[in-house]
Chain A
Amino acid sequence: MRALQVSRSVGRLGLARVAGALAPAAAVRVGPLDLVRIDPPELPGPGWHRVRTRLAGICGSDLSMIEGHASTYFDDWVSFPFVPGHEVVGELDDGTRVVLEPVLGHEARGFPPPFPGAAPGDGDDYAHLATGHLEPGIQTGFCCSTGGGWSEQFVAHTSQLHRLPDDLPDERAVLIEPLAGGIHAALLAAGSASVQRADAPVVAVLGAGTMGLAAVAGLVRYAPHVRVVVGARYPHQQRAATALGAHHVGPAAELARAVRRLVGCHVVGDHLSSGAHATVDAVGSAASITEALHITRPRGRVVMMGMPAEVTLDLTGLWHRETELVGAYTYGTEQLSDGTAARTFDLAVDTATAIESERWLSATYPLTDHVDAIAHAAQAGRRGAVKVCFDLRVGA
């Protein structure tokens, strides 16, 4: 079958990093990603299914890996060669359409779940991600045993699959996975003590690519008492955030002042004297984390949704202001404000329909045009796009 595959090559990763600074397409050409013909992965055991890819999204974490920016942290949590692609809508052998919850959790790896009914992402010991009968891999798309969505087919465990209703189109469904990530980050922000204590809490969202927009959608839908302030770099992102119902949307450079106006505080040096009760950083750079720390009030929470890799930060303000710095990786089981629990993916399915998430799907490419597709995704903001996908449906 045809597949895009990432091989372990330090030299090509280094080349990609250099070339990526010049042009995303150059990084793809010289980097560790190749369009290859490989055998489909074997089914690892009972409860596993063969999934034929219909649509597979290109995520920021995929780009980071291809462009050689991913942290060495992942060296022990992924296994090469792997086929990327974790935002996937596919089809089982019996024709059932499914969306993938990509985390290779306890059940997929043959371990008992941490609690009855746990989602793949739940648990407080990640040993299972690197052990068991599968090669290491935090999720589908980074594990050589399972394959990934950037190929004609891959394998997935029953615990990872969500059957799609007939009236939910592929183009909407392919946004469910990123929406789940955004909702998880939104609920982490909304669940912070700082937000919980406030009468009129303010949550800032820094960045409005797919994940930033997903966080906004999550905040508006599942934390309606929160005033959401969004800093979005591009006009189409601003329009999308506004359409989702954010309280205030403006250019990213104006976010700090917008937060200040809303909470009515001072500016002292680089920091707001108070600030947002929580901030979701949907960018993941040193600059964005720094900005998030500057605009979050003392004892507030910064939720890092964007994958940061290696950054240099001045954390004096974090120390002085007792800021919580919290990561937001994927999804699991959420505690909602009404006291009930829900799987993030279920919330994301509902949200995808409520917001008609297919609006965010900007372009689709065949696998053979992967250089153009990845370049498009890497420049999504400036090219007016939100989500770029591979389309492997028959006839596409």
Chain B
Amino acid sequence: MPRPGFVLHVDTQTPPTLVWRGEGMSLEQLPADRSRVIYAPEPKPALDDIDGAIRHALLHPIDQDPLPALLTPGMKLTIAFDDISLPLPKMRRPDVRQRVIEAVLDLAAEAGVDDVHLICALALHRRMTENELRHAVGDRVYDAFAPSGRLYQHDAEDPQNLAFLGTTPQGEEVEINKRAAESDLLVYVNLNLVAMDGGWKSTATGLASYRSLRHHHNPATMEASHSFMDQHRSELHKSNWRMGQVLVDSGVKVFQIETTLNTDTFPAPFEFLSKREWEWNARDRATYLGTAKSLALAPPRLSRKIFQGIEAPHQMTSVQAGEVEAVHKVTTEHVYAQHLVEVDGQTDILTMGIPYICPYNVHSIMNPILVMCTGLGYFFNMYRGKPLVREGGVVIMFHPTEPDFNPVHHPSYIDFYEQVLADTTDPHVMSEKWERQYAEDDWYRHLYRTSYAYHGVHPFYMWYWGAHGMRHCGRVIIVGGNAKAVRRLGFVAATTLTDALEIASDTVGPAPTITHVHTPPILMSDVR
């Protein structure tokens, strides 16, 4: 039986805490008697018969007819699936998407459905390479569909292949992939890593255009989502749900398949990264020392290659299919069961180690904008109830925050860093002043469509992602961060945790309470 999450109150006997620093790590001693560390629940057990569970979900969906009953010869079937942004790290083969897609294709073949397209629902993310697609859907599916042009990636900048479906009562325009919209059935294959994923976000975001996305990927929506992971208090969620209703009203028939994974994140020899430090054995300690020292000496490119090569052993804990909202309700319960940790009260200072990966730098570089997004966009928002840190409190991150960018994946990020952040760090100001220029830049558009680049507007979205956190916190400090880059982000760099706490004392006083989120593995704080 896996143990639930745990809040450790630090005393003088508590061993130092493992802290991520990008492609490195350190052990940090938190002040005794006023610090606590939140540990993730242990991984839930995987389903015994994953393929059987998938087939069962397809044959016994929630609030919808079984999939075979929806499949008829001559119909137009589209299977959309989540892109490379999940899971993190990428999972060992076979990927969940492969298992589900193969099961759907088996049923489609049994029903005599020939007109089948597979679309990677990447929204404004970068396109996946052939190897990445093969990893996600498997070689058999790739070889059967890609050569004939029936497996491809959503292109949010192809006006010929977008369909405008209408507007929500709030005036939000809904425009999604034309093939998906005009199919007799759209099967969506989701992989739910955090509570924000799935539901109508799969289709209304994953298959949408900039025209649609800008209605909820904006500073006002982000600041009003408390948090993204809490559906009832997320404006982002509500906007997607309104758009989902437009899809329903315009006749788009969706069969949603959602899966959840456990948090078995690190394979050998990195299992110690998921363990609680006082339970480390001699081998764990030796592995930590060897890893930390080696990473400190290794060139960043090598460290990156090692980490990006990790394939996580995480496995499926649930699969459910059927009507979008009913399915997502069950999915969310499974996600919460894996992630939630009860926490009493807020803290003055929230500390977090930023790991080497986030949804937007798979096989790539965690650039300064993504550091901000991972810290204030993701980790800060991993709460239900109240933010872990009190309003006006301090967030301390650990990351080198070098101004390094992958020019293939993140070309507009470089300009965003050089031009936009040099001008303003205010999400509202940059939205008004700069967003359209980047969204409509012809070169970024070209690279998004033909290369492997995130859309020109994407760095803005990453910045908006942190808008709630930025507004909520009194100060953000990055330990070990490149001083110039950290300043460009509008934050303060510190050399050590001690220095950071000294800097923070201006904001929260000399003896603040401190909470460290020991993640990854992913956890979500249920703050009472």
Contact = CB atoms under 8 A, between A and B. Distances in A.
Interface stretch (A138-146, A214-222, A252-260): A252-260
Contact of A265 (B418, B437, B443): B443
A266 B422 CA distance: 22
B442 A261 contact: no
Contacts of B418: 250, 254, 257-258
Nearest to B446: A266
A257 B414 contact: yes
Contact of A264 (B414, B419, B422, B441): B441
Interface in B407-458: 414-415, 418-419, 422, 437, 441-443, 446
Contacts of B437: 261
Residue of B414, B442, B443 with most partner-chain A CB within 10 A: B443
Contacts of B446: 266
A264 B415 contact: no
A260 B419 contact: no
A266 B442 contact: yes
Interface in A212-243: none
A267 interface: yes
Contacts of B441: 261, 264
A189 to B, nearest CB: 23
Nearest to B434: A261
A267 B407 CA distance: 11
B443 A266 contact: yes
Contacts of A266: 442-443, 446
A117 B344 CA distance: 87
A250 to B, nearest CB: 6
A252 to B, nearest CB: 12
A257 B415 contact: yes
Interface string B41-56: 0000000000000000
Interface in B356-375: none
Interface string B72-107: 000000000000000000000000000000000000
Interface string A295-307: 0000000000000
A60 B47 CA distance: 74
A266 B444 CA distance: 8
Interface in B221-266: none
A170 to B, nearest CB: 37
Contacts of A265: 442-443
A250 B420 CA distance: 12
Nearest to B438: A261
Contacts of A273: 443
B269 to A, nearest CB: 39
Contacts of A254: 418
Contacts of A260: 443
A174 to B, nearest CB: 34
Contacts of A261: 415, 419, 437, 441
A267 B444 CA distance: 10
A254 B415 CA distance: 9
B419 A267 contact: no
B436 to A, nearest CB: 12
A250 B423 CA distance: 12
Interface string B329-362: 0000000000000000000000000000000000
Residue of A260, A265, A266, A273 with most partner-chain B CB within 10 A: A266
Contacts of B415: 257, 261
Nearest to A267: B443
Interface in A40-83: none
B464 to A, nearest CB: 20
Interface string A255-284: 001101100111100000100000000000
A269 to B, nearest CB: 13
B4 to A, nearest CB: 49
A255 to B, nearest CB: 10
Nearest to B417: A254
A374 to B, nearest CB: 31
Contacts of A250: 418, 422
Contacts of B419: 258, 261
A259 B446 CA distance: 18
Contacts of A258: 418-419
Nearest to A273: B443
Residue of B414, B418, B442 with most partner-chain A CB within 10 A: B418
Contacts of A264: 441-443
A267 B414 CA distance: 14
A260 B414 CA distance: 12
B156 to A, nearest CB: 19
Nearest to B414: A257
Nearest to B444: A266
B55 to A, nearest CB: 48
Nearest to B411: A267
Contacts of B442: 264-266
A265 B419 CA distance: 16
A368 B477 CA distance: 51
A258 B418 CA distance: 8
Nearest to A250: B418
A266 B414 CA distance: 15
A19 B443 CA distance: 46
B434 to A, nearest CB: 10
A289 B419 CA distance: 24
Nearest to B418: A254
A225 B81 CA distance: 52
A266 B453 CA distance: 14
Residue of B419, B422, B442 with most partner-chain A CB within 10 A: B419
Nearest to B440: A264
A290 B23 CA distance: 36
A43 B415 CA distance: 59
Contacts of B414: 257
A261 B423 CA distance: 14
A228 to B, nearest CB: 16
A250 B419 CA distance: 9
B3 to A, nearest CB: 50
A257 B405 CA distance: 14
A37 B415 CA distance: 57
A258 B422 CA distance: 12
A311 to B, nearest CB: 27
A266 B415 CA distance: 13
A16 to B, nearest CB: 36
Interface string A342-354: 0000000000000
A19 B437 CA distance: 50
Nearest to B445: A266
A258 B416 CA distance: 11
A264 B441 CA distance: 7
Interface in B386-424: 414-415, 418-419, 422
Nearest to A257: B415
Nearest to B407: A267
Nearest to A265: B443
Interface in B281-340: none
B173 to A, nearest CB: 25
23 contacts: A250-B418, A250-B422, A254-B418, A257-B414, A257-B415, A257-B418, A258-B418, A258-B419, A260-B443, A261-B415, A261-B419, A261-B437, A261-B441, A264-B441, A264-B442, A264-B443, A265-B442, A265-B443, A266-B442, A266-B443, A266-B446, A267-B443, A273-B443
Interface of A: 250, 254, 257-258, 260-261, 264-267, 273
List the 4 closest pairs (A to B, CB-CB), nearest first: A266-B443, A254-B418, A257-B415, A261-B415
Given A261-B437, A265-B442, 4 more contacts: A250-B422, A261-B419, A264-B443, A267-B443
